[in-house]
Amino acid sequence: MFVVTGASGKLGRLAVQHLIERVDAAKVVALTRTPDRAAGLGVRVRAADFDDPGSLARAFEGAERVLLVSTDALGRRVAQHAAAIEAAAAAGARQLVYTSLVRAGEPGNPSLLAPEHRETERVLAESGVPFTVLRHNIYPDMLHLLAPLREAVATGVLSGGGDGDHVAYVTRADCAAVGAAILAEGGHTGQFLEVTGPAAVDRAGVAEALAEATGRPVRYERRTRREEAADPAARGVAPELVSAARQFWDDAAAGWMDVTTHVVERVAGRPPVPLAEFFAGCRNELLGG
Ligand SMILES: NC(=O)c1ccc[n+]([C@@H]2O[C@H](COP(=O)([O-])OP(=O)(O)OC[C@H]3O[C@@H](n4cnc5c(N)ncnc54)[C@H](OP(=O)(O)O)[C@@H]3O)[C@@H](O)[C@H]2O)c1
């Protein structure tokens, strides 16, 4: 039996959809805190909340291969993931596939998200169950939070402080396809796979992709820190978001997300979606529609 956790979430939902293209839907179980929201997936749905370890024995019963989608509860994730790993192991699972973060295993990784992923990877490796770690690079949807994309399309200028901030953005759909392929086919045990898009692009590349997708001219313009600091205030962006975005671009400029692999093509059997193609899928939104 194939189990996908977090099935109401954006990634978990896509993973179930990819999985039932590869295996009999009757052999798939979707776990979620909100079964009603997963009712339309066409597979069996069971309730599971990693904050409630008592609910997990029943949820993982019969599990053979599990895609463990990392939760979004910053600060509680290691305990949550450890509870799920323990329950899956107790149920006799033969392979656990965990969705981690790009280069999470490196202790120097400055991302606030890295330590919990790194610790979960350690718990997984010590669980005794064959495992695969999928270290996802950044989803391009995150750019909607990290950069003023619509404004850039409207004005023709994407501005920011810094350059050389290369990131190999990878779509959730590609990540879901990789997870589903490993669940369906098995293999890759003991591996830590960096799951990335086809190319690492900096913000000048983001501007080019916006232009290609919308047909509007867009160029990147580097701002000084002072000019950059003045911008968000004018747009009324929350200070926490401004500082998180600045940290992100600094980490990117230091090369932490400048990782490009062939994992999507090799494992899922299809080339990863380029950034311009992703933007083309949300063209109306970018054009302010
Ligand atoms: N690489 C990146 O750029 C990037 C960006 C965003 C997120 N992520 C990571 O990827 C994961 C999936 O992303 P997403 O976009 O699909 O997130 P999302 O739609 O916000 O979903 C959050 C996920 O966390 C699960 N979850 C939260 N609390 C849980 C609990 N107590 N027990 C079990 N599951 C719990 C949810 O499952 P249910 O609601 O179905 O119970 C859902 O699958 C995130 O949770 C995060 O770890 C990575």
For the ranges 168-177, 195-204, 228-237, 242-251, which has the lowest average pLDDT?
228-237
- Taking CA atoms only, the protein residue closest to ligand 1 atom 12 is 11
- Can you tell me which atom of ligand 1 is nearest the CA of 102? 1
Q: Which CATH code for domain 140-167+198-258+273-286?
A: 3.90.25.10
Q: What band does 16 get if pLDDT is binned at 50, 70 and 90? A: very high
- Beta strands per DSSP E along the chain: 2-4, 28-32, 44-47, 65-68, 95-101, 131-136, 157-160, 191-195, 219-222
Pocket of ligand 1 from Cβ distances under 6 Å: 5-12, 32-34, 49-51, 69-73, 80, 99, 101, 136, 138-139, 142
CA-nearest of 10, 14, 76, 88 to 46 is 88
pLDDT at residue 230, as a whole number: 74
Cβ atoms within 10 Å, residue 240? 8
Q: pLDDT (tens digit, 9 = 90+) per residue, 239-268?
A: 888 889 999 999 999 999 999 999 999 999
Q: pLDDT (tens digit, 9 = 90+) per residue, 61-107?
A: 999 999 999 999 999 999 999 999 999 999 999 999 999 999 999 99
* 3-class secondary-structure state, position 82: helix
The CATH classification of domain 2-136, taken from the options 3.30.360.10, 3.40.50.300, 3.40.50.720, 1.20.1260.10: 3.40.50.720
Rounded mean pLDDT, 140-163: 94
Q: How far apart are CA 198 and CA 263, in angstroms?
A: 10
Residue 219 Cα to ligand 1 middle (Å): 33
Residue 161 Cα to ligand 1 middle (Å): 30
Q: State yes or no: pLDDT of 232 exceeds 70.
A: no
Q: Where in the chain is the domain with CATH 3.40.50.720?
A: 2-136
pTM over 0.95: yes
Q: Where in the chain is the domain with CATH 3.90.25.10?
A: 140-167+198-258+273-286
Check: CB of residue 211 under 8 Å from CB of residue 217. Answer: yes
Residue 11 Cα to ligand 1 middle (Å): 7
